[in-house]
Structure 1
């Protein structure tokens, strides 16, 4: 008998359970709150009238307040209306930002604004010992188990994938402890073993799931394409570049030491993981693809989408797509998923079967078995190990590995993977000659408290992306390596990553030629050619509220900060020369030429969250906390006529400016003004006016 697992509504069931728990919690809170109120307070006409007045005032404030940004009333179930709306938004934004380029924020990864949310969690520890491991297609009892056990017999049952919603458990096959079980029908297998301990002859048993690779011969490569490059994309969910720097210090150092180019201007184009992975893997946005959302109750699937897996399969590649959280799968949570597995090797059914015995994630560190383990190994390490095994298969290879379990619910857990990820990156160098290596995140934190800060909001929009070209390609196309490094501070997107992969593979014919109406460039540009520095968010297909680019705005003369900023620079200059006593005359302010304030765009600041389940349209009523503001100022001082330009940071909570001499420029000659201190304090020459 085959056991059938149906997961048609696995994600929906999980969501329903969370909603039911939330309702129960809210009911308890409501009852408790009502118990604190005077009985029958609402029966008083005076109190009822007051309640109506307060509610009306709130409503009027929301409708008429100029500080609250509201959206036009959209039917968010009508896909065509959403597409038209977004297109119009991009075209409107293009009129404002075309050719203006992008000022990439320089964010301190260790700013208190974000590190206040970091926390140290217990290290993931996995109990017991797995009896059976697979390497490629061969599964056997490991030596460590055989050293302490005898008379071992194991029963193997394949986990057979049918669709993203259904799999079956195959018939049992018994194998002796010294024999090998060959994977033929599936990459995954359920195992149950029995034996006796050698020391006391007592019965012992073990059961679990394990995985390897059944033989899948690749198709012949087209003539002339037998030697194409391999591709490894290794990703973490919810991973901003700065978050990776903070929590994955050894891995970050490995990226720098091993010659990766970190794309500091890599900007998301939408909400959530699909908004990143659809463009990377298909070259198109979700809205440009057929509508196969579960909410539409149609029979469509993702099989018809132009995934890069399919193109490369026909080109003679072995392909693998590994993702580790099937209950929130990128292509299954909101979508109907695949009817046929999209790559030669695919882990969805393996992880669905594992969910059957998986403990609750709440307070996992208090339980006997960790939620983050697969048998005796942390799940993230299983993902690394199976990726390494895949790369040891012959032929041309393309693999996309995406780890979510240690990042999605609490990014602090990613620290557990630092040592193993760093070691994995170093191991990849043995394949660096002919392999494109990409290390990435899909987006930064979306729901954590850090997102209420401006830096957190910007980090959400600036995920990790590090790229290392195949050494053979870098030698053959040195200009491509130089262009990639030049583009490190350029505005880039998931669409560009897709074009870059195709460029590396010499498959430019599959580039998406789409261009925002009125733009000078196509939406997708390869990173192997210089990306124009005047490229704007709208030209790159990024809506304003997802755009992390900053802009400098003039501060009007009647703004308090016009005078406050100029005075702060003057005070700082006088504090520098005060260190030499009364040799220098204190400067006085004679004029302020201009003051500039650096700001994120208003749509980004006001964006709160997605208004619909699909993340197409946003709520714009957030009050984002701004801890720091950057200013530039130009002043003239006397005596003499010293002219200075400076950049400075205003600390909002402390009501003070941070200024450093390296950020100050004197733009006119000081000639003999500082003669009295030039020999002893030459660093003060730009500031001193001798008595």
Structure 2
């Protein structure tokens, strides 16, 4: 039996011993029916079963209060594989694929654990507020007693740049104190970032870095004023934690991180099966989440050129900050961060707690075990583990106050299909700790990615192409939130088998700012009806609302090149229109490179695949110009052996060709494009030198 304490928003499980000892009110104690009285309950039981069945199949709409027990969050939301589709609506059909299909199975393997290149294990560890010597590790450093050690710590901090005068590395300036504070076995820390050093006989044997969540008076003052001004009850507003895993498709998450998947299901997670990316890499898929804008719209709004900072952009964390939330943002592998790869980043730190100065400095000094683009270790710890430790401190330290945070892990998963499996146990441990610490009792947890792996052998298969366009997205809602906002959560569950996008996720986050106004049952009914009756529904729609069943990729803001709703038909690679399209694509690449004379002109070497993208029949019949055909081509060029994928649109009306969206690079390019700085063109350039 469950009891809800509304004032504390905590769920308490009543034990069997309490029942035996008579500690429960008589009204809720178990009673045995007397005589034939149980027959009186039969009609109610039958009615309850009918209502439950209707709601589970999403047939019951909002005509009155719906008890929370009628909105189950199942352990596993399984697509109707008998139909063979994850999404099967009037506007979109997305096929359900087998994670271990024979076409991709040969690319799936279990990688060996990463061995960090460090002298020994972590000698000085930290908890929420202190550092301490791990005495069991002393033998790793040929030390027999802690008394032999002479350890100290040096605070360091981010240096705020000038908005008028800044350089490409403005976001990476740190300053270390000119002193080192000694400690023996342990010490409480009052600084946000510190460097630790230990010596034996004046020889440095150990160095490491630690971060802490230190209360900031200016942040607390702002939050108190915001809550007072807006007259809001903080108990009605859950914290929001977004946990991102870079370049992991939904199916690869199922393959590589099964224990994390199981843990999410144990937490009642809702998985969005039709989540479709809207851009190529991390940046164009996260900008819609954080700003509700496309990359081009962000350019026009606040980021006019690559060397512009992002300080003036209205990212969602600013909205949460103004509403009295403490905010946090951080990534591992910071050199290739979403706002920093060939970009400037921020002059002023974007959130109250910003992990970049800590991880960037630690990785620069202690980063090792570099595999392709990422240093997988900082000292003796996996870089992914360092980030998760910081997130633990963030959520634990701020558990009693509203917070919003986005943390993004890329080190393990950015470059390798199978390395996600190396993080499975790390994320299971993190989720287990979240549950143990009761953080999830007042936190909406969002686990997500930006896209699937974008290169490698699997990417050249049909399934690999589909996976690359289908990131993962899970929601875990607190029990009290599910009960209070029944209709809203029911819609999230209903929308699992609808076409959804990062634009929708932005609108969902915006709703969480004012749940008491926007997510009550009357508001959900009214807003859903407005969306469903709109002649031109908005591009981004909150997932708390019913999504239209006739929603298509164009309506959802998804370019044809990224759309997974279309059905593909193979086309002969030597057909005249395919050959013409391939030549047109190479010409298009060379036109992009024409102002960069340091890049070699490209020549077509081979057409590796050609598919005709066919819309659903009823949509095709409703199209005014039936002479439009989209061909998805994969070609190889020389020099450099680049493998490129693009959607070429043919218009029979004027016999014209055009490239739809961007051209994707399917294989790695290493230093082939080192002669250009423009990050888009690095995908295509082969340097003359």
TM-score by length of 1: 0.61
* Contact 1:102-1:491 within 8 A present in 2 as well: yes
* Aligned counterpart, 1:194: 199
Corresponding position: 1:489 with 2:497 = yes
Which of 102, 120, 131 is the equivalent residue of 2:123? 131
Instruction: Go from structure 1 to structure 2 and tell me whether the alpha carbon gap of 1:523 and 1:391 turns closer, same or farther (over 3 Å shift).
Output: same
Corresponding position: 1:160 with 2:166 = no
Q: Deviations over 1:143-195 (max 9, x none)?
A: 546883214332322232124142222222221214525233xx222221124
Instruction: Go from structure 1 to structure 2 and tell me whether the alpha carbon gap of 1:193 and 1:620 turns closer, same or farther (over 3 Å shift).
Output: closer
* Contact 1:324-1:403 within 8 A present in 2 as well: yes
Which of 356, 360, 363 is the equivalent residue of 1:352? 360
* Aligned counterpart, 1:606: 633
For residues 261 and 337 of structure 2, the distance between their equivalents in structure 1, rounded to whole angstroms, comes to: 27
1:492 is displaced (CA, Å) by 0.4
Q: Deviations over 1:203-228 (max 9, x none)?
A: 77311222222322432123114221
For residues 466 and 377 of structure 1, the distance between their equivalents in structure 2, rounded to whole angstroms, comes to: 27
Corresponding position: 1:208 with 2:208 = yes
* Aligned counterpart, 1:141: 133
Which of 100, 112, 118 is the equivalent residue of 1:110? 100
* Aligned counterpart, 2:275: 266
More displaced 10-residue stretch of structure 1: 309-318 or 268-277 = 309-318
Instruction: Go from structure 1 to structure 2 and tell me whether the alpha carbon gap of 1:134 and 1:216 turns closer, same or farther (over 3 Å shift).
Output: farther
Instruction: Go from structure 1 to structure 2 and tell me whether the alpha carbon gap of 1:171 and 1:203 turns closer, same or farther (over 3 Å shift).
Output: closer
* Aligned counterpart, 2:421: 415
* Aligned counterpart, 2:179: 172
Which of 292, 297, 314 is the equivalent residue of 1:306? 314
- CA root-mean-square deviation: 3.6
> Where do residues 4-403 of structure 1 align in structure 2 (5 Å cutoff)?
100-126=90-116, 127=118, 128-144=120-136, 148-162=145-159, 163-178=170-185, 180=187, 182-184=189-191, 187-195=192-200, 205-217=205-217, 218=220, 219-220=223-224, 221=227, 222-227=230-235, 228-290=237-299, 296=305, 298=307, 300-358=308-366, 361=369, 371-394=375-398, 395-403=401-409
* Contact 1:294-1:334 within 8 A present in 2 as well: no
1:301 is displaced (CA, Å) by 1.2
Instruction: Go from structure 1 to structure 2 and tell me whether the alpha carbon gap of 1:622 and 1:401 turns closer, same or farther (over 3 Å shift).
Output: closer
For residues 480 and 294 of structure 1, the distance between their equivalents in structure 2, rounded to whole angstroms, comes to: 34
* Contact 1:519-1:539 within 8 A present in 2 as well: no
Instruction: Go from structure 1 to structure 2 and tell me whether the alpha carbon gap of 1:445 and 1:139 turns closer, same or farther (over 3 Å shift).
Output: same
Which of 548, 566, 588 is the equivalent residue of 1:550? 566
1:373 is displaced (CA, Å) by 2.0
* Contact 1:262-1:465 within 8 A present in 2 as well: yes
1:363 is displaced (CA, Å) by 6.3
For residues 482 and 613 of structure 2, the distance between their equivalents in structure 1, rounded to whole angstroms, comes to: 38
Instruction: Go from structure 1 to structure 2 and tell me whether the alpha carbon gap of 1:605 and 1:454 turns closer, same or farther (over 3 Å shift).
Output: farther
* Contact 1:272-1:442 within 8 A present in 2 as well: yes
* Aligned counterpart, 1:663: none
Instruction: Go from structure 1 to structure 2 and tell me whether the alpha carbon gap of 1:125 and 1:526 turns closer, same or farther (over 3 Å shift).
Output: same
Q: What SS does the aligned partner of 2:483 have?
A: helix
1:246 is displaced (CA, Å) by 0.7
Instruction: Go from structure 1 to structure 2 and tell me whether the alpha carbon gap of 1:491 and 1:160 turns closer, same or farther (over 3 Å shift).
Output: same
* Contact 2:197-2:208 within 8 A present in 1 as well: yes
Instruction: Go from structure 1 to structure 2 and tell me whether the alpha carbon gap of 1:258 and 1:620 turns closer, same or farther (over 3 Å shift).
Output: closer
* Aligned counterpart, 2:25: none
* Contact 2:129-2:212 within 8 A present in 1 as well: yes
* Contact 1:317-1:398 within 8 A present in 2 as well: yes
For residues 277 and 424 of structure 1, the distance between their equivalents in structure 2, rounded to whole angstroms, comes to: 23
For residues 432 and 310 of structure 1, the distance between their equivalents in structure 2, rounded to whole angstroms, comes to: 23
Instruction: Go from structure 1 to structure 2 and tell me whether the alpha carbon gap of 1:113 and 1:206 turns closer, same or farther (over 3 Å shift).
Output: same
1:506 is displaced (CA, Å) by 1.4
* Contact 1:132-1:210 within 8 A present in 2 as well: no
Corresponding position: 1:503 with 2:507 = no
The number of residues matched between the two structures is: 465
* Contact 1:155-1:193 within 8 A present in 2 as well: yes
Q: What SS does the aligned partner of 2:387 have?
A: helix
Structure 2 stretches of 5 or more lacking a match? 1-88, 139-143, 160-169, 520-530, 572-611, 617-628, 635-643, 648-658, 668-689
Q: What SS does the aligned partner of 1:175 have?
A: strand
* Contact 2:367-2:378 within 8 A present in 1 as well: no
* Contact 2:278-2:285 within 8 A present in 1 as well: yes
For residues 362 and 665 of structure 2, the distance between their equivalents in structure 1, rounded to whole angstroms, comes to: 41
1:550 is displaced (CA, Å) by 3.0
Instruction: Go from structure 1 to structure 2 and tell me whether the alpha carbon gap of 1:362 and 1:332 turns closer, same or farther (over 3 Å shift).
Output: closer
Instruction: Go from structure 1 to structure 2 and tell me whether the alpha carbon gap of 1:603 and 1:451 turns closer, same or farther (over 3 Å shift).
Output: farther
* Contact 1:175-1:181 within 8 A present in 2 as well: no
Instruction: Go from structure 1 to structure 2 and tell me whether the alpha carbon gap of 1:616 and 1:435 turns closer, same or farther (over 3 Å shift).
Output: farther
1:603 is displaced (CA, Å) by 4.3
* Aligned counterpart, 2:55: none
Instruction: Go from structure 1 to structure 2 and tell me whether the alpha carbon gap of 1:174 and 1:553 turns closer, same or farther (over 3 Å shift).
Output: closer
Corresponding position: 1:523 with 2:539 = yes
Q: What SS does the aligned partner of 2:232 have?
A: coil
Q: Deviations over 1:407-438 (max 9, x none)?
A: 01113111111122123223333223221111
TM-score by length of 2: 0.62
For residues 604 and 482 of structure 1, the distance between their equivalents in structure 2, rounded to whole angstroms, comes to: 38
Q: What SS does the aligned partner of 1:388 have?
A: helix
Q: Deviations over 1:48-84 (max 9, x none)?
A: xxxxxxxxxxxxxxxxxxxxxxxxxxxxxxxxxxxxx
* Aligned counterpart, 2:56: none
Structure 1 stretches of 5 or more lacking a match? 1-98, 197-201, 365-369, 556-596, 624-691
* Aligned counterpart, 2:663: 619
1:502 is displaced (CA, Å) by 1.8
